[in-house]
Amino acid sequence: MMDEKQTQEQAEEKLIDDAFQELLDRYLESRHRKKVEIITKAFNFARQAHKGVRRRSGEPYILHPIAVARIACCEIGLGSTSICSALLHDVVEDTDYTVEDIENLFGSKIAQIVDGLTKISGGIFGDRASAQAENFKKLLLTMNNDIRVILIKISDRLHNMRTLGSMLPSKQYKIAGETLYIYAPLANRLGLNRIKTELEDLSFKYEHPETYNRIQEKLKATQAERNHLFAEFTAPIREQLDKMGISYHITARVKSPYSIWNKMQAKHITFEEIYDILAVRIIFTPHREEEELNDCFNIYVAISRIYKPHPDRLRDWVSHPKANGYQALHVTLMSNLGRWIEVQIRSERMNDVAEQGFAAHWKYKEGGGSEDEGELSKWLRTIKEILDDPQPDAIDFLDTIKLNLFASEIFVFTPKGEIKTMPQNCTALDFAFQIHTFLGSHCIGAKVNHKLVPLSHKLKSGDQVEILTSKSQRVQPEWINFATTAKAKAKIQAILKRERRELQQAGEDILREFLIAGDFEPNEQNFQKLCKYHESPSLEEFFLEIGQKRIILDNNDLNELKEKPTPTNWKKYIAFAFGGNKNKQAEKKEEVTKEKPAALEIDKKKVLKLTPDAIQKNYIIADCCKPIPGDDVLGYIDSNNRIIIHKRQCPIAAQLKTSFGNRLLAVQWEIGKALDFPVNVYLKGIDGIGILKKVTEIISCQLNVNIHKLHLESNDGIFEGRFQIYVHDVDDVNSICEELKKIENIKRVTRIERFDDVIATDD
């Protein structure tokens, strides 16, 4: 037994040594200065600190910091300072060592990064809303101090996602949801395209395993067809580039499973209907550094002579890089097989930036500091402005930040011709706040391309915008409805809050002076009496209404204060004297029981079984996404201990995953064919005589399903239909859709969540 234990220990020691040696080998292959000694010192220190500790999967804990360091080194391109910080990132959090110990052994810069990582450890989100907002603010503030903190944190999250299989399903949903909500958009904003894609795919894999596997199988099945298309499409391009004497290589970019699924969901289409799964990348080495931009356009001109380009799909990210530093020229060409194929033209440098983001051109000198600022600094400054006035509600705060994380960009011009990067779908009001808070808070309208437009006007790329202001203009509450950027929303809310506080204070001052003038004490009791008299919901609202002059105080108010106490006081006295406190005890008892979680039928893996009886008695099917048996779902225990069943991809569920992960339950349908659930189905096709009859015959007669609601309309020879039916599960819906697709001239059949859902176009 002892020998077996020793053999296992020796095997683990070898595993650890090999993992570290591989990290060193990869580091030595990089272009960084070779500081092997300090990296080895950090490894030995971390190994000793985590000795005997294991991960949930059973492997020695030290393998996790090694893996994080390897991601930081190989996949993000960071140097020795970051590698040491990654190796030490859990030491302060999980052992008795302090930040001071790290500083004494490894210097202030590594200690500062480890300290930043320790502050945001355990995931961004805690159990309480205030803790979530606080942790997220810490993350953004530490990111502002040293970008390497968030880069290592993203490396840490990527390794956790790669090893998520050992966690319980409910934990997987929480971590996957958190990753999709925050880490993937952060990676995208920092230009880490490859990591962003992997984080999205891994989240998708754990949230929708069956769908993920199905898409992977279909990608595998269509691989040979794509290879043939790629070879045939690129052959004449290679020939032309060879003639031009350009040093290049061409690669195929296949759309990720998550992107494919997202498009299927957004456009209500099948895998077979997605035509941009394949894209082509031309990566070249410029003749001279200053010729890089010209070479991009020369390649574009050359290939557009071979294939016809799409007139509306040229994207010039070369002249105007994205906010995350991304540069490339995108053109969509018509292949000889009648398929549109996107071609991305990049130099080697642009490709490095596309894959490694800011890490590729944020060169750190010894002791920290960066050589280049650019767009990242602008973005961090915007975040810092939002942090100056954070929202009290964590969800609002996170959503405000996410407005900036997810946004695609457009380019607009100031009256003097200066170019500004703005999020897509932004308004003239957003632009005003982007320039300056004073401009935003006093704007009355705008001129877009010299034409007068309202503040709610949506801007398009290439617009020239002039903001019109007035000193008498004030921020209006309705502005919040059409402001779209994080900065504008945060500023509008801050100004409205400040004005509200000022009006409340003015109202309270008016009330105090009024009471003193009428010989009454300006105390809480008199405030409450008048508040009740004017039927205001709260004292704050009462003060506000006085400040806004919506309530004018007069003699009637003074008379109200002169009245005798109401009989309610006697009731209170009687209740107290005759043991009315029993009710209070009962109330207290009720409050205590409310806090206890509901009794649940949960197995060892914390999976909730949904049986017909349970569905009818104990659980609520969420109205926002209306899941039915067969859908990927999760359970959420709300504040009243009710269990609400949501689809895993539901936007409300996305917020719950990131905010209340400890209240989530994995759920398994065990309904069989016992219950009926309402489902909405949308169909579209070419109109013809008897189309309605064919549809109803298949549903009612052939499949024996009752149509609960039906809406059909025809316009210019195209008909659209919606109907609501009751089914047992997802299989029923799929078989109905398959049968309807067999009807001649029906081009599209899909399940929709709401009867009146707007269906995206097929472009």
Catalytic residues, which ones? 93-94
Q: Are the CB atoms for 198 and 158 separated by under 8 Å?
A: yes
- Provide the token pair at 264: 């299927």
Rounded to the nearest 5°, which phi and psi values hold at 598?
A: -65, 150
Question: How far is CA 173 from each of CA 20, 209, 620, 670, rounded to the nearest angstrom?
Answer: 31, 11, 19, 20
Residue labelled with tokens 């009496």: 529
Largest Cα–Cα distance in the chain? 103
Residue labelled with tokens 């002076």: 513
What is the identity of the amino acid at 43?
Answer: F
390 Cβ partners below 8 Å, 6+ apart?
A: 133, 137, 397
What is the identity of the amino acid at 14?
Answer: K
- Residue 722's nearest CA partner among 710, 708, 735, 736 is 710
Helix (H) or strand (E) holding 373, with range, is none
Residue labelled with tokens 């009926």: 676
Cα of 646 vs its chain's centroid, Å: 18
592 Cβ partners below 8 Å, 6+ apart?
A: none
- Provide the token pair at 557: 């108010």
642 Cβ partners below 8 Å, 6+ apart?
A: 598, 619, 620
* Contacts within 8 Å (CB) and 24+ apart, 167-170: 167/56, 168/605, 168/606, 168/666, 169/605, 169/606, 169/607, 169/666, 170/606, 170/634, 170/664, 170/665, 170/666
The pairing of beta strand 443-448 with beta strand 451-453: antiparallel
Query: How much of the chain is helix, strand and coil, in % rounded to 5?
Result: 55, 15, 30
b vs e for 590-604, b when ≥16 Cβ sit within 10 Å of the residue's Cβ?
eeeeeeeeeebeeee
- 10 Å CB burial of residue 724 (0-12, 13-18, 19+) is middle
Task: Please report which residue ranges of 222-338 form alpha helices under DSSP H.
Answer: 223-243, 257-267, 292-306
Q: Are the CB atoms for 325 and 358 separated by under 8 Å?
A: yes
CA dihedral for 536, 540, 546, 547, sign (positive or negative)? negative
Q: Are the CB atoms for 165 and 176 separated by under 8 Å?
A: no
Question: How far is CA 438 from each of CA 23, 381, 405, 475, 480, rounded to the nearest angstrom?
Answer: 52, 17, 25, 10, 16
The SS3 assignment for 369 reads coil
- 10 Å CB burial of residue 521 (0-12, 13-18, 19+) is exposed
CA dihedral for 622, 628, 631, 636, sign (positive or negative)? positive
CB atoms inside a 10 Å sphere around CB 88: 26
Where in 98-211 does DSSP place strands (E)? none
Q: Are the CB atoms for 191 and 325 separated by under 8 Å?
A: yes
Helix (H) or strand (E) holding 344, with range, is strand 340-347
